[in-house]
Chains A and B, each alone.
Chain A
């Protein structure tokens, strides 16, 4: 039968979240503008106050800080100056990530302080070696698009943690890196380390292989370090990823709508600072906001609200035409159990359907304190399933398979039809998730739990995966820079 192609019909290119109308996003935007203009933001950095003042903001000075009131035109202009499309450049160019609207990638949660040891399964403080190992595991997983600093190197001197973190991460991945900085000075040193890996500062400016995480403090406060790191990032030409963690009911309104407004105000004020410091500096709209569970006094990142808030903020980022980096998949469970699986699936799927550029949260347990190797591996498999889901159902003539349906007819067999053989690779495939019959499962796994099998896979990766090689001599050069920085801070143990 001839099926001439149809003239343009409205079709969906995948599954997506229908969350808010344009009018509703406008409402959040207007409410935000009003907060920024009338109530303002508390800013603790003197340099930042001057920049805001120079940009047309009104400053009220107090002893320890200033209140910055940002006119709506400044907010909107700054949001407009931030680049629309960002490529998260990677040390290995094959891993460059294009952060256009609705292109969904994933990464782990960041900045955990505990780790469950993959061999002994013991819970302990995370060390620099863990930072190296976890980075290498993430580097090997296609499902992880960019690297967070998965854990903090808690065994190194205070003030040098971020420098040690990036040394560990640069050495173990070729992917783009998101890291926080202890201080503007530390950020400068981090940039030197990155420059060593890409053949100099100029190259780093051309292809910044890492972005800087900055966190405002809710409600509506920009601490000194946050401001000064943004300003230093602007000097260095490094993109910033602005991640408030408002706790609805604690540091923001107990209603989610109110939380969205203050969250948005915090992000936009940082964007304003970044753009006033350097027009066109890449800014990533980020979030790890959630509810404060008022019964337990904990930040409930496994809650459905976490998914709802972060999915909405991904939509809001699209409204501002900015790349987004939002939470999804985090868990409050203490062990990699079924609770952690449920919580991952719900919020990660929501944020992915919302079209967030990076959904971060794999691997994490215990309100963000603890990272687990098995969880990273299992989540990677779920990420693959989510990626298939957001692709949706394609309704082309080929996929509708009308001629095959007529041919097979009532009661016929598809399984033996040539069409099935040709198309079978389009099916989702699992590795750790078991789809065998009960007997087949017993035979293949001896009843070993998925968690055990995931730890085994992690250990295998640790033993065998080789990350994208560093340039010759870069390792030694980096070690020297780190040592010098320790000396500078007078924390060098030797």
Chain B
């Protein structure tokens, strides 16, 4: 039997989730703009406040409050690239992050460890990070690596450097890593440069992205601003992960939580784009509800998945690559 091609019929290329309509996303966007305009965010860093001032925000240096006209926010959204190539040490480890391309990574960062040899429950060490990085390196379906644990056996002021060393030497995959503070940033960048063959090469193929979190509700602490600004000036992407606790540091209702978190992420985005226009910005979330009966952060709840799904949808609405909790 002859079966000729069908002329253009509409197809779905896969299964996906109907999370919200464009109207819904717009609703959250408008609510976010209202909060950014009228209530604003608290910004701890004076250097960042100066940048916000220059970008067209209304700043109050006394209260360290920054308020955002809508155009500043929307310009920043347009300036950030929609596609981010998460480069690995080797080109075959490169992963494209954009609209609907789904990849996986491990959780980070764990502070306690169940020892695989003894079964003992204890603090994590630098040696544990090396093991975790090695395992992630071997797993085909974990495309990038987030530093999994914390070097408790090193002094806090240099833990991030040790975390980076343990990670960078045990996997060739793209790294998501929190540098913790400004002092450790240049050292980590030097380490990366040493691996890829110089700073120029690192700018071309950055194998590491700096991860950082605002503090809910609506606070951008100094180290958070520093990391965003330094990432931008060094040609590295910033992964900003909202960590609201619905019911604790944001409204119980997920809709309100999405607004709070969106304010934190978009105000961070403005800082990133005002520091260096076009810096890759990854819209992230590890927001979950606070179980108000148990007073614990319930990363295993259905709400965590629902928030993450909505955040991914918002990232698509903004054409930004995203990084959300799940699993």
Mark A residues whose CB is within 8 Å of B.
Answer: 9-12, 15-24, 26-27, 308, 311, 350, 353, 385-386, 388-389, 392-396, 398-402, 404-406, 408-415, 419-420, 423-424, 426-430, 433, 435-437, 440
Does the CB pair A9–B27 fall under 8 Å?
Answer: yes
| Further pairs besides A15-B17, A415-B247, A427-B252: 15, Cβ < 8 Å | A9-B26, A9-B27, A10-B23, A24-B10, A392-B19, A399-B255, A410-B42, A410-B65, A411-B42, A414-B249, A423-B251, A423-B253, A426-B253, A428-B289, A435-B300
Does the CB pair A385–B302 fall under 8 Å?
Answer: yes
Tell me if B76 counts as interface (CB < 8 A to partner A). Answer: no
Does the CB pair A389–B302 fall under 8 Å?
Answer: yes
Does the CB pair A17–B35 fall under 8 Å?
Answer: no
Does the CB pair A428–B217 fall under 8 Å?
Answer: no
Does the CB pair A408–B292 fall under 8 Å?
Answer: no
- CB-based nearest A residue for B244: A414
Q: How far is the CA of A414 from the CA of B246 in the complex (A)?
A: 8
Q: Which of A11, A411, A428 lies in contact with B218, CB distance below 8 A? A: A411
Does the CB pair B217–A427 fall under 8 Å?
Answer: no
- CB-based nearest A residue for B15: A19
> Which B residues from 34 to 68 make CB contacts under 8 A with A?
34-35, 38-42, 65
A89 to chain B, nearest CB (A): 31
Q: How far is the CA of A182 from the CA of B51 in the complex (A)?
A: 78
Q: Write out the residue numbers on chain A whose beta carbons fall within 8 Å of the beta carbon of B40.
A: 410
Q: Size of chain B's interface in residues, with CB distance under 8 A?
A: 62
A-B contact pairs, 15 of them (CB 8 A): A11-B27, A15-B17, A17-B15, A17-B18, A21-B12, A394-B253, A400-B253, A405-B259, A413-B249, A414-B247, A424-B247, A424-B252, A436-B294, A436-B296, A440-B294
B291 to chain A, nearest CB (A): 5
Q: Write out the residue numbers on chain A whose beta carbons fall within 8 Å of the beta carbon of B246.
A: 427
Tell me if B138 counts as interface (CB < 8 A to partner A). Answer: no
Q: How many A-B residue pairs have CB under 8 A?
A: 195
Q: Which of B249, B259, B292, B305 lies in contact with A427, CB distance below 8 A? A: B292
Contacts A392-B306, A414-B247 given: A18-B252 contact, CB under 8 Å? Answer: no
For the complex of A and B, list the 5 residue pairs with the smallest distance between their C-beta atoms, beginning with the closest: A401-B256, A410-B42, A410-B218, A23-B9, A423-B252
Q: Write out the residue numbers on chain B whose beta carbons fall within 8 Å of the beta carbon of A401.
A: 251, 253, 255-256, 259
Q: Write out the residue numbers on chain A whose beta carbons fall within 8 Å of the beta carbon of B42.
A: 410-411
Tell me if B31 counts as interface (CB < 8 A to partner A). Answer: yes
Q: How far is the CA of A401 from the CA of B259 in the complex (A)?
A: 9
Does the CB pair B301–A385 fall under 8 Å?
Answer: yes
Does the CB pair A353–B292 fall under 8 Å?
Answer: no
- CB-based nearest B residue for A404: B251
Does the CB pair A405–B260 fall under 8 Å?
Answer: yes
Does the CB pair B39–A410 fall under 8 Å?
Answer: yes
- CB-based nearest A residue for B28: A395
> Which B residues from 221 to 272 make CB contacts under 8 A with A?
246-256, 258-260
Q: Write out the residue numbers on chain B whose beta carbons fall within 8 Å of the beta carbon of A436.
A: 294, 296
Does the CB pair A400–B259 fall under 8 Å?
Answer: yes
Q: How far is the CA of A404 from the CA of B249 in the complex (A)?
A: 12
Tell me if B168 counts as interface (CB < 8 A to partner A). Answer: no
Of B21, B24, B290, B302, the most chain A CB neighbours within 10 A belong to B302
Tell me if B20 counts as interface (CB < 8 A to partner A). Answer: yes
Does the CB pair A409–B19 fall under 8 Å?
Answer: no
Does the CB pair A12–B217 fall under 8 Å?
Answer: no
Does the CB pair A429–B35 fall under 8 Å?
Answer: no
Does the CB pair A10–B21 fall under 8 Å?
Answer: yes
Q: How far is the CA of A412 from the CA of B41 in the complex (A)?
A: 11
Does the CB pair B15–A350 fall under 8 Å?
Answer: yes
Q: Write out the residue numbers on chain B whose beta carbons fall within 8 Å of the beta carbon of A10.
A: 21-24
Q: Write out the residue numbers on chain A whose beta carbons fall within 8 Å of the beta carbon of B23.
A: 9-11
Q: Write out the residue numbers on chain A whose beta carbons fall within 8 Å of the beta carbon of B10.
A: 21-24
A341 to chain B, nearest CB (A): 12
Q: How far is the CA of A93 from the CA of B298 in the complex (A)?
A: 37
Q: How far is the CA of A415 from the CA of B290 in the complex (A)?
A: 9
Tell me if B118 counts as interface (CB < 8 A to partner A). Answer: no
Q: How far is the CA of A402 from the CA of B250 in the complex (A)?
A: 11
Does the CB pair B17–A399 fall under 8 Å?
Answer: no
Does the CB pair A386–B302 fall under 8 Å?
Answer: yes
Q: Write out the residue numbers on chain B whose beta carbons fall within 8 Å of the beta carbon of A308.
A: 15
Tell me if B303 counts as interface (CB < 8 A to partner A). Answer: yes
Q: How far is the CA of A392 from the CA of B309 in the complex (A)?
A: 10
Tell me if B182 counts as interface (CB < 8 A to partner A). Answer: no
Of B18, B218, B252, B289, the most chain A CB neighbours within 10 A belong to B252
Q: Write out the residue numbers on chain A whose beta carbons fall within 8 Å of the beta carbon of B122.
A: none
Q: Write out the residue numbers on chain B whose beta carbons fall within 8 Å of the beta carbon of A428.
A: 289, 298, 301-303
Q: Write out the residue numbers on chain A whose beta carbons fall within 8 Å of the beta carbon of B300.
A: 433, 435
Does the CB pair A405–B305 fall under 8 Å?
Answer: no
Does the CB pair A435–B11 fall under 8 Å?
Answer: no
Q: Write out the residue numbers on chain B whose beta carbons fall within 8 Å of the beta carbon of A405.
A: 35, 39, 217, 251, 256, 259-260
Does the CB pair B303–A420 fall under 8 Å?
Answer: no
- CB-based nearest A residue for B26: A9
Does the CB pair B20–A393 fall under 8 Å?
Answer: yes
Q: How far is the CA of A408 from the CA of B39 in the complex (A)?
A: 9
Contacts A11-B24, A419-B252 given: A406-B35 contact, CB under 8 Å? Answer: yes
Tell me if B131 counts as interface (CB < 8 A to partner A). Answer: no
Tell me if B293 counts as interface (CB < 8 A to partner A). Answer: yes
Does the CB pair A18–B255 fall under 8 Å?
Answer: no
